[in-house]
Structure 1
Amino acid sequence: MSGTVIALAVSPQVRQMFLDDATVAQLARLGRLRLPPPDADVGDPAVLAPLLADADVVVTGWGTAALTAELLTAAPRLRLLAHTGASVKPFVTPASFARGVRVTQAGDAMAYAVGEQALALTLALLHRLHRFDHALRTGEDWATAKAAPPRQELRGAIVGVVGASRTGRAYLELVRALGARVLVADPYLSAEQADRLGATRVDLDDLLAGSLVVSLHAPVLPETTGMIGARELALLPDGALLVNTARAALVDEAALLAVLSTGRIDAALDVFDAEPLPVDHPLRALPNVLLTPHESAGTVQSRRRAGAIVAAEVARFLRGEPLRHEVTPDLLTSTG
């Protein structure tokens, strides 16, 4: 590993979030660290090019510029991109794969945090906390604020999990621990696998029609884009609850807004078609909607785990061992 250069092509904010002192020290033992100049914008290719000039490894984060063919020309030694987040699509290009740059990411670190926030959102919806909060903050009188729709307990409730992904399985385990009965819809999951998870495998329509709570955890694929549209939303029982901490593209937002505007269902949303969510977006005014700003994975522990995964992957790569979280070109084109 002597002579290895590791470029930390992340902003000071991202570095502070993901790379604690122990992780930075671990990376420093693997090679010579190169950081961008103070206050430099790592989203500017002109800043990134000299940073990568003799780098063997680049660590990326939010806002890092993509590895274009021009940048790769300025980085002849680059062999690995290790991303502190999950989706590498903003950073990887066909040119980087063609040049033989391998790619890894830290999505596994976020699964539990997303599952736990989905649980928190589920409990808030079941107990109508969002409605109580909205009523009191907007000046409703005490009696009106108390007149929320009936509240439900998670224990004994039927919860539908769409997608047995890493986050889906984390959420499934958490709601089961609190006594929920779980249905799961995932075309790649067998009935036997679902049974081992403590869930019942059903098709999507049956899950929607039979669940009090539906939580989305599917990746964005051609077949999942817009999978929850007006027809699917109509299958939900009156009073059903929808949680989306996955991807906005799974849901037809206009159809969702239409049904939410009737008050027939409630929803908790962490992802949106337009981010940042416009300040005048109608979702912001609805009392039956709980909103969070795409932060379900943003725990301290999740980000520290992500940094540790990146350091471990860099170490494996430099030792010539298989990567545990590698993203290949076929995976990149088939995931969201």
Structure 2
Amino acid sequence: MTSPTVVAAVGADLMAEFFTPADVERLRAAARALGGDFARADALADIEDLRGARVVVTSWGAPPFDAGLLDGMPRLRLVAHTGASVKAFVTDELFDRGIGVTQAGLAMARPVAEVSLTFTLALLHRVVEMDHALHTTGGWYDPAVGPQHQILGAPIAVIGASRTGRAYLQLVHALGARVLLVDPTVTSAEAARLGAEKADLDDALRRARIVALHAPTVPETHHLIGARELALMPDGAGLVNTARSWLVDGAALEAELRGRRISAALDVFDSEPLEAGSALRALPNVLLTPHRAAGTVEGRLDQGRIVADEVEAFAAGRPLRHRITRDRLAVMG
């Protein structure tokens, strides 16, 4: 086979999750429009000759696109990522060489927001503690689990007006929550248009019954929530994190949760997979999922559709809708 023009460095199982047969055919058609063929491999290293590659479709585990790699792909003009964050492999070298970068993060916002909403309702209604008690004791209802609350009228802090943060905000606002939005880039007027009250972090932590994290992983947000911040949360409040563990001091959170003053629902961890001996696994006030918030059937197919749209647009000479610039990369999660 001659050097392909469109390469999907995506494992076979993920390829089937992301791309319908029709979208695979769109990738093939784009390759033909660019004067060559389409090829899929588990990794770029599995393709012997990449000199003709114009487009590379990536997935998790992609290698850094540094000078050494790019020298072997002199015709490369687009990297299209099936996920959201591209920080792990996108380098300045790509931008310096004028190579476009795009990604499918928009498709992940809704499913992650839905999981955040699920977590929110579970913590408000004490589902986690009651489920744990019924599984592990011979008892029935124990008032010690604390009061249950409905979302209607509940003060909920949204930390970060990212795409996912806004999708979550829309959901909880529609259910009648009183939303406090913490984001230095959002004005009070814009927060009001979103159905929220702009607040600073400390004020929001003191007032909120649920704190939902949706901030980006930039230096300023590292351990944004530490021991001091957790102590500000009211007794019985809950922390929801479907964003990045980067945002939370894990040791401080574990210590606070051991005291059972607050609860938490987590989809992301400092070490993944979560260690078998992690104390979080045994705590009755913690809901855990294995970093799968975006893993819906529909969301995965939307990710593939976006990538196929972008590759198709590139082959036709149209603008990319989800382009990542150097400046945007600097503030991405």
TM-score, normalization by structure 2: 0.93
Find the partner of 2:195 among 188, 193, 198: 198
1:209 maps to a residue whose letter is: R
Displacement of 1:333:
2.9
SS in 2 for 1:179: coil
Find the partner of 1:57 among 55, 58, 62: 55
Find the partner of 2:268 among 268, 271, 287: 271
> Deviation above 4 Å: which 4+ runs of structure 1?
144-147
Aligned to 2:146: 149
Aligned to 1:117: 115
SS in 2 for 1:82: strand
* Distance of 2:227 and 2:20 partners within structure 1: 45
* Distance of 2:178 and 2:101 partners within structure 1: 38
1:260 maps to a residue whose letter is: L
TM-score, normalization by structure 1: 0.92
* Distance of 1:55 and 1:145 partners within structure 2: 63
Displacement of 1:29:
1.8
Aligned to 1:164: 161
SS in 1 for 2:252: helix
Aligned to 2:46: 47
1:87 maps to a residue whose letter is: S
Displacement of 1:325:
1.3
Aligned to 1:21: 21
2:236 maps to a residue whose letter is: G
* Distance of 1:153 and 1:51 partners within structure 2: 59
Aligned to 1:72: 70
* Distance of 2:205 and 2:300 partners within structure 1: 33
Aligned to 1:9: 9
Q: Tell whether the 8 Å contact from 1:34 to 1:51 is kept in structure 2 after alignment.
A: no
Displacement of 1:51:
5.5
Deviations 1:106-165 (A, max 9, x none): 111111111111000111111111112222222x12236675221111111111111111
Deviations 1:193-217 (A, max 9, x none): 1111111111111111011111011
* Distance of 2:135 and 2:16 partners within structure 1: 34
Q: Tell whether the 8 Å contact from 2:116 to 2:212 is kept in structure 1 after alignment.
A: yes
SS in 2 for 1:7: strand
Aligned to 2:105: 107
Gaps of at least 5 residues in structure 1 are none
* Distance of 1:146 and 1:208 partners within structure 2: 25
* Distance of 2:89 and 2:317 partners within structure 1: 23
* Distance of 1:264 and 1:146 partners within structure 2: 14
CA RMSD, aligned part only? 1.7
Deviations 1:170-207 (A, max 9, x none): 11111111111111111010111111111111111111
The answer on 1:280 being equivalent to 2:277 is yes
Aligned to 2:95: 97
SS in 2 for 1:309: helix
Q: Tell whether the 8 Å contact from 1:184 to 1:199 is kept in structure 2 after alignment.
A: yes
2:289 maps to a residue whose letter is: T
Aligned to 1:331: 328
SS in 1 for 2:323: coil
Identity of aligned residues (%): 54
Displacement of 1:65:
2.9
Q: Tell whether the 8 Å contact from 1:9 to 1:51 is kept in structure 2 after alignment.
A: no
Give the number of equivalent residue pairs: 326
Which residues in structure 2 correspond to 1:236-315 (within 5 Å)? 236-315=233-312
The answer on 1:174 being equivalent to 2:179 is no
Deviations 1:71-95 (A, max 9, x none): 2222121111000000112232333
Aligned to 1:35: 40
Gaps of at least 5 residues in structure 2 are 32-36
* Distance of 1:102 and 1:164 partners within structure 2: 26
Find the partner of 1:230 among 227, 232, 242: 227
Deviations 1:261-303 (A, max 9, x none): 1000000011111111101011111100000111111111111
SS in 2 for 1:137: helix
Q: Tell whether the 8 Å contact from 1:283 to 1:289 is kept in structure 2 after alignment.
A: yes
